[in-house]
Structure 1
Amino acid sequence: MNVALARLLLSAAYPLLAHAASATHDPRLAALALLDIVLILLVLPLAQRRAGAWLTVAGATALLWWMQHSVLLPVLLLLPPVLFPWLVAWWFARTLLPGRVPLISRIVGGLEGCAPADLAPPLKSYTRGLTRLWAIVLAGIGLANLLLGIIAVPDGLLVRLGYTPVVTVPQVMWSLFANMLDYGVAGLLMAVEYLVRIRLFPDRPYRSFPQFIRRLGALGPAFWRDVMR
């Protein structure tokens, strides 16, 4: 199977597994959801048949199976919806530091076929602001997931530490927000931004959304590897 497709399928499976684990309080599903993260991270070396990757997966499988009845397992399930948005927020925010090129400016520069410094001033300002907006929204999503995870019952952090939260949310509601609605928030931001962009910059050569996606894909692996650094 294509590595990119395998990673996409594993990524799509994670929120479903995590939500099912939280809704049913099934430790087997929780272990499977966490193992899914390990597979997402190691899918390339696994496809390359690297012994270290296979040993890591075997060790993670054994450890998660052993932890099925541990109080730590539900707590570990609270972490990915917090850490992943913060990691991506940091990825956006670090490109706003002095001497760096904003992430979305680099991407739009690739779409325009020019260096980011050569973008038209309005487009340069817009892409910097959009990079900042994504960093703020993703950091906010991670913070909301953390706060809800602290007061969730019965597997929230305060409950696990032996405290009764003054305000609580059911575990299933936390899971719906953290594992499902987060993607809706990100998707809504993308849709609204796209509508704003085509209104502000109607002369851009990627006006239609399918054309925009095709042009992103046409930038090629080398471009995206450079952007990821």
Structure 2
Amino acid sequence: MSLPAPAVTPETPARRSRLLLAGVAVYFLLALAAWSSGRGGLAALAVFVLAGALLSPALRRRSLAAWGAWGALALLLGLLAARGEGLLALDALPILVNAALCALFASTLRHGREPLIARFIAILESPERLALPRVAAYARRLTWAWALLLGAQACVLGAILGLVPGGVFAALGATPPAAFAAPGWRWYLHVGGYALVPLVLVLEYAYRRVHLRGVPHAPLPLFIARVVRRWPVLLQGIAADADDPRARGAR
């Protein structure tokens, strides 16, 4: 359900990408300022800006669901900031990112959809590569693997945030069911969780060369260069899929 859309010039994928990048850049600046100063209000504002950037296509379409979600988030962030717990919103963000990516990968595994890894292969190499022996099946299994990995990562990060001193249980004035006092836990929450992604990419590349021995593979530096060069196209494809759940179905 949505409100009547205003008469505007259709937005190009490139412009959507630039707006998203601008929102992400502002988020990182605010997050760094919040982390260094310990000001919860800045942390809550950083999360609010990032959510607005991610929801911007739906917000511009005047989607009631998107505006409702953004408004509810604003209320929650305001309550956290008022209680002096705004930093928890920033700490929870890696959990939400992993959970959202898990849902994204899993959603493309439904019947009639093209697995997300298959789309990446078509963009980074060529659609014809999917017709090579075992490549399409491998792309589906790898999409499953990423969904499971990101889901497990979200659970681990959620457990950390709940059990550490100063975490969710402490913020609610409750005693956690188990103690988890690991120094530097915020570094893993905000850095280690994201560092896992390039590590798995490199390990998967090594496994792929063995598992798909009969298929030619680009050298690792060239593969990484393609990812860096073509990531805006990957991002646009994900955004298009989010805008239209039926988009890019199985060919």
- Output the amino acid matched with 1:103: L
Task: State percent identity of aligned pairs.
Answer: 26
- Output the amino acid matched with 1:83: L
Distance 1:17 1:187 in 2: 25
TM-score (norm 1): 0.71
User: How far does residue 206 in structure 1 lie from its aligned partner after superposition?
Assistant: 7.8
- Output the amino acid matched with 1:187: P
Cα deviation, 1:182-210, whole Å, max 9, x if unaligned, reads 11011111222233335545624686222
- Output the amino acid matched with 1:164: T
Question: How many pairs are equivalent?
Answer: 222
1:171-210 matches, cutoff 5 A: 173-198=184-209, 200=212, 203-204=216-217, 208-209=222-223, 210=225
Q: Which has the higher helix share?
A: 1
**Which 5+ residue runs of structure 2 have no aligned equivalent?**
1-13, 246-251
The answer to whether structure 1 residue 162 and structure 2 residue 173 are counterparts is: yes
Change (3 A) 1:40 1:173: farther
Change (3 A) 1:133 1:220: closer
- Output the amino acid matched with 1:93: A
Q: Report the equivalent of 1:94.
A: 107
Partners of 2:41 and 2:86 within 8 A in 1: no
Partners of 2:164 and 2:181 within 8 A in 1: yes
**Which 5+ residue runs of structure 1 have no aligned equivalent?**
none
Distance 2:104 2:35 in 1: 28
TM-score (norm 2): 0.66
1:1-229 matches, cutoff 5 A: 3-11=16-24, 14=27, 17-18=30-31, 21=34, 24-42=37-55, 68-71=81-84, 73-110=86-123, 111-114=125-128, 119-154=131-166, 156-165=167-176, 166-169=178-181, 173-198=184-209, 200=212, 203-204=216-217, 208-209=222-223, 210-211=225-226, 213-214=228-229, 221=236, 225-226=240-241, 229=245
- Output the amino acid matched with 1:112: S
User: How far does residue 85 in structure 1 lie from its aligned partner after superposition?
Assistant: 0.9
Give the aligned CA root-mean-square deviation in angstroms. 4.2
